[in-house]
Chains A and B, each alone.
Chain A
Amino acid sequence: MSAHLRVDPIRCSGHGLCAELLPELIRLDDWGYPILVESDVPPRLEQVARRACSVCPDLALLLDP
C-alpha cells in the first residue's frame, strides 16, 4: 500500500511549493493551484512528499498513510 496525497482546497492559497518539490506528482493549474497528477506516492518519493507537506505554508498538502 502506497501513501496517498491530497490537497485541502479550502486551506490552499496556491503558494506552489509542492509542485516545485514534487514535480513528478504535482503540477500547477493556470492560477497557480496544485493539480495532483498522481495521488498514490511511490515509496521512493515518500520522503520528499512528507517534506512537501511540512513546508506548505497553508498546511494544505496532506499525506494519508
Chain B
Amino acid sequence: MSESVTVAAPGPLRPPGRGRAPQPARLLAMLPPVGSWLPLAEHRRVHPRPPDPRRRPSGELIETVERSGLRGRGGGAFPAGAKLRAVVEQGRSPTVVVNGCEGEPASRKDALLLARLPHLVLDGAAFAAAAVGAREVLVCVTRGSAEVARSLDRALDERRTEGGPSVRVMRPPDRYVAGEETALVHWLNGGPAKPTVAPPRPFERGVRGRPTLVQNAETLAHLAQIAAFGPEWFREVGTAGQPGTVLLTVSGGVSVPGVFEVPCGMPLSAVLRSAGAADPPSAVLVGGYGGAWISPGTAASVRLSVEDLRPLGASLGCGALVVLPSGACGLLETARVLGWLAGETAGQCGPCVHGLAAVAAGVSALHDGRAARRDRDQLRRWASDIADRGACHHPDGALRLLRSALSVFADDVDLHARRKTCRGKAGPAVLPLPPHSTAWR
C-alpha cells in the first residue's frame, strides 16, 4: 500500500467564501507525489502562519476549535476543543504531544501526513500550543519510517525562521499499545511505553508532571485548517455530530488500496466503490484491529459517522477499513488478528494477558471446527467478563472484534463446526500481522 488517492482529485484548496459546493479533499488537497513533501513556501500559499499566542488569547483559540465540532481522529473521537480546555484549566504550563505513532497495522494516514504534508501537522501543533499556552511540542513518530523522519527534519529546518514553539521529534517503540496516550507519556517520562492507570490522565499530569495535550497527527492537521479557514468552513461538510472530512486507510479486497479523504458521514458503499471493492461488498473491518466487522448487508447501507456506527457497536477508530476479499475466511482472519493482539499486550493486567490469549485460542478452535456449543457460550461470556477491566482499552478493542466476528460470521461458525473445512485456509493472510517488537523503551 504505497499509492494514495483521494475521492476527489487533489487540486488547489479553495479558501472559504468563494461559493460552490465544498470539495471533499481538504487535508490532501495539496498532496505532493509519492516520495516528495510539500515545502513550506508552497504550504504557506494557502495556509497562513499559526497565530502568535501573544496576539490572540487562548480562550478565543479554544472557542474556535469548540465551534468547529472537531473530534479526535486517533480512535477515541473525543471532542478536540474539550481536550484543549481540560489542559488549560489545569492552570499550569503544559506540553503538547503530537501522536503520530500509528501502531495500527491497517492504518497509514498519519504516516502519509507526516511524510508528505508535515507542515499541516506542525501548524496544527503550533496552533494547539498557542491555544493551551505550551512552549514545547514533542512529535512522536514510528521508528519504522525513514521517510517520516526525513520529512520532519526538513520541515522543522524550513520553519526555523518562523518562530513558534520549540519542537522535538521523539521515536517511541513500535508497539500497538505504545500510542495509547498514558503509554506515550510513560515512555516520554523515561519509562516503558506501557499504559498507566488513570486517573491521573495526561491532561492532569503528563510529561514531567505537566498538563499534557496528546493529540493525534490527523486531528492536528484539521486544527491547522480550522485555524486558517474558520470553524464554519470546517462544518460545511460532515455530519452534525462529526463535522469535517476524515482520512480513511482502505486495504484488503480492493483494487485501489490507499488513503482516502471523505466527508464524515459518507456511505461506506461509496468509499468501497472508489477503492474498487467487489459489489456487493463482502464483510468490512471498520476501525482497525480493535474495530468491528460490518456484515455485507450493513456495509451496503451504513454511513461512516459516530452516530451511525455507534448503534452497531462500531466506531471509525483511526479510520482503517479492511475489506474481506471473496474467498477469504473471516473467522480465520479474526483468529489471526486476535492472536496478534494478544501478543501485543503490555503484559500488565491479568484480564488482558490471560483473557486475550484465551479468546484468540477460542476463535482458532471455532475456525478449526473443534469448538463445542459450550465453547461458543464461553467465548460470549468472556466477551463481557473481560470488558472494561484493563488499565487501557486494548482488551476492549479485541473484544469488539470478537463480538462482531461472532455475529457477522455466525454462519461460518456453523459451517466450520459441521464440515471442519475452510475455504480461506489456502489463501494468504489478508490482514497484515507485523512482527512483535521486543522493545518497550
A→B interface (CB under 8 Å): 7-10, 12-14, 29-33, 35
Contacts and interface: CB of A to CB of B under 8 A. Distances in A.
Given A29-B386, A30-B358, A33-B389, A9 B196 contact: no
Given A9-B350, A30-B354, 16 more contacts: A9-B197, A9-B349, A9-B351, A9-B352, A9-B389, A9-B391, A10-B196, A10-B348, A14-B350, A29-B355, A29-B386, A30-B385, A31-B351, A31-B355, A32-B350, A35-B385
Interface string B176-214: 000000000000000000001100000000000000000
Given A30-B385, A33-B389, A35-B389, A10 B354 contact: no
A12 B358 CA distance: 19
Nearest to A32: B350
Interface residues of B, number: 16
Contacts of A9: 197, 348-352, 389-391
Chain A contact surface mostly: loop
B440 interface: no
Interface in B316-351: 348-351
A12 B197 CA distance: 12
Interface in B343-401: 348-352, 354-355, 358, 382, 385-386, 389-391
Contacts of A7: 389
Contacts of A12: 349-350
A31 B348 contact: no
A35 B385 CA distance: 7
Contacts of B352: 9
B126 to A, nearest CB: 35
Residue of B350, B355, B382 contacting most chain A CB atoms (<10 Å): B350
A18 to B, nearest CB: 13
